[in-house]
Amino acid sequence: MSVIVNHPKTAIRGALLTFKKDPFFHPMAECFWYESDAIIVMENGKISVVGKADDILPTLGDISVKHYRDSLMMPGFIDSHVHYPQTQIIGAYGEQLIDWLNNYTFIAEQNFKDRAHADEVAEVFLREQRRNGVTASTIFCTVFPESVDAIFAEAEKYNMRIMAGKVCMDRYAPEALLDTPQKAYDESKALIEKWHKRGRAEYVITPRFAPTSTHEQLEMIGTLASEFPDTLIQSHVSENIKEIEWVKELFPKAKDYTDVYDQYGLLRDRAIYGHGVHLTEREFHILNERGSAVAHCPTSNFFLGSGAFNVHQAKSAHRPIKVGLATDLGAGTSFSILQTMNEAYKAAQLNGAPYSSLHTFYLATKGTAEALSLEDKIGALEVGMEADLVVLNLKSTPIIEYRMRYAQSLEETLFIQMTLGDDRAIAATYIAGKMVYEG
Ligand code: GUN
Ligand code: ZN
């Protein structure tokens, strides 16, 4: 079944920012389009007109135009790695990755066998995303197919572009959360047949991470991936030092962590791996060769003491990796992509390799769309693109309003927003041409 939602024409007016090219590789002047007074017309879920207000106003006839002042219209934010079942454990104190998984995550995820519980969390989770201007995301569910049905069904109500999958794991987790190689294959396949490409939904084949899958399970997941070459794949890689040592013990024949996934055919275009904080040169090379992406999760990496991913290193021109920005909730501490950008800047500072606010806004929009190979659909404001937008209020708090009086450039304006802004900066969120949140 395909879901087509027709909305009437909607037109909005204000300042506009969108990206055309990757500023990590091209001169900044070629990379973005900023227009101080623009109009965007949305029709049938897509952008039908976008340009200077003066040019478009005379052509609009009797369409009413919503005017956003002191604001910035942008492509909706994309979260490339997030765990919706962890909504109830955000900010859980204690230890690093493995203990945190055992003490909180694996307990919370057991509740998702109950569809009513999954429905409730899916509703809260997507509501928070809308409140934060997140219009598309790549989501980990739990081992229970019910949890996958819940998030896809809730997203369908908003015609939201989401990608999600059932977590597969058959060892090193509580009995109640384990499947088997065959069950992982069968349940994932049934979910692909039910949800993949239904409306704006896409399925993501989701082995949790190498340690929680046996050789047999990874093999069956690899088979499934080869049978469905146009699904996405997601997992975790090289997040935490102890985790990497554990992977070495469990897979002694693998060259490194990334090689485990490669051996099972799980590196390809549209495969996205969370974290990659401690990747080696060899791993960067193979990710580049296979066309796979890394999801940069700075709030999570700081919260769990994992380290600071280096975007400049990942995007080295001789073997560039696609990089998406991500919250990785609930190890990540905020639904806000602005706050995620804030922490991304600090990660870059710790690496001695900072990048500008324009680079960061590129990462959160078009860059993440490219990491997911969705750049022909979302992540930019152009005619024909899906009409997923966020409108930022540039004066959302008293201190931001005060600080903005001294902003002298677009770059400084954006830097203020990503450093001081959060959900309060979201003036409106549009999904498929329809306003779904107003701040
Ligand atoms: N590695 C395996 N599972 C998880 C998870 O749920 N969160 C994080 N941050 N890392 C993981
Ligand atoms: Zn994760």
Query: Is the shortest distance between the CB of 236 and ligand 1 below 6 Å?
Result: yes
d(CA 316, CA 338): 25
Pocket test for ligand 1, best of 83, 273, 333 (most atoms within 8 A of CB): 83
Spatial CA neighbour of 266 closest among 356, 328, 204: 204
10's torsion region: left (phi>0), alpha (psi -120 to 50) or beta? beta
pLDDT band at 94 (very low <50, low <70, confident <90, very high): confident
Q: Reduced to 3 states, what is the DSSP secondary structure of residue 224?
A: helix
The yes-or-no verdict on residue 338 having pLDDT over 60 is yes
Average pLDDT, the chain: 97
The yes-or-no verdict on residue 2 having pLDDT over 70 is no
Pocket test for ligand 1, best of 88, 95, 96, 97 (most atoms within 8 A of CB): 97
Lowest mean pLDDT among 8-12, 175-179, 426-430: 8-12
Query: Is the shortest distance between the CB of 81 and ligand 1 below 6 Å?
Result: no
| Sign of torsion over alpha carbons 42, 337, 438, 160 | positive
Spatial CA neighbour of 23 closest among 379, 410, 296, 359: 359
Q: Which residues surround ligand 2, an ion (CB under 5 A)?
A: 274, 328
Cα 97 to ligand 1 centroid, rounded to whole Å: 7
What's the first-to-final CA gap in the chain, in angstroms? 33
Share of the chain above pLDDT 90, in %: 97
Nearest ligand 1 atom, CA 331: 9
Which structure tokens are listed for 175?
């009995």
Q: What is the CATH number of domain 77-371?
A: 3.20.20.140
Q: What are the φ/ψ torsions at residue 4 (nearest 5 degrees)?
A: -115, 120
pLDDT digits (tens, 9 = 90+) for 376-431: 999 999 999 999 999 999 999 999 999 999 999 999 999 999 999 999 999 999 99
The yes-or-no verdict on residue 62 having pLDDT over 80 is yes
Query: Is the shortest distance between the CB of 209 and ligand 1 below 6 Å?
Result: yes
If you take atom 11 of ligand 1, which residue's CA is the nearest one?
A: 236
- Angle 331-218-87 from CA coordinates, rounded to 5°: 20
Report yes or no: 170 and 179 within 8 Å, Cβ to Cβ: yes
Query: Is the shortest distance between the CB of 97 and ligand 1 below 6 Å?
Result: yes
Pocket test for ligand 1, best of 172, 239, 246 (most atoms within 8 A of CB): 239
Nearest ligand 1 atom, CA 212: 2
If you take atom 8 of ligand 1, which residue's CA is the nearest one?
A: 331
Domain parsing of the chain, residue ranges = 10-76+379-438, 77-371
The yes-or-no verdict on residue 1 having pLDDT over 80 is no
The yes-or-no verdict on residue 79 having pLDDT over 50 is yes
Query: Is the shortest distance between the CB of 208 and ligand 1 below 6 Å?
Result: yes
Cα 11 to ligand 2 centroid, rounded to whole Å: 37
d(CA 359, CA 111): 39
Scanning the structure block, which residue is given the tokens 């047999």?
A: 216
Q: Reduced to 3 states, what is the DSSP secondary structure of residue 113?
A: helix
pLDDT digits (tens, 9 = 90+) for 102-161: 999 999 999 999 999 999 999 999 999 999 999 999 999 999 999 999 999 999 999 999
- Can you give the pLDDT at residue 8? 80
Residue 19's Cβ-side half-sphere holds a number of Cα atoms within 13 Å equal to 28
Lowest mean pLDDT among 4-13, 206-215, 235-244, 346-355: 4-13
Compute the average pLDDT of residues 303-311.
Answer: 98
The yes-or-no verdict on residue 4 having pLDDT over 80 is no
- Interhelix angle 215-227/181-195, nearest 10 degrees: 20
Compute the average pLDDT of residues 430-435.
Answer: 98
Compute the average pLDDT of residues 53-72.
Answer: 96
Query: Is the shortest distance between the CB of 306 and ligand 1 below 6 Å?
Result: no
CATH 3.90.1150.10 fits 10-76+379-438, yes or no: no
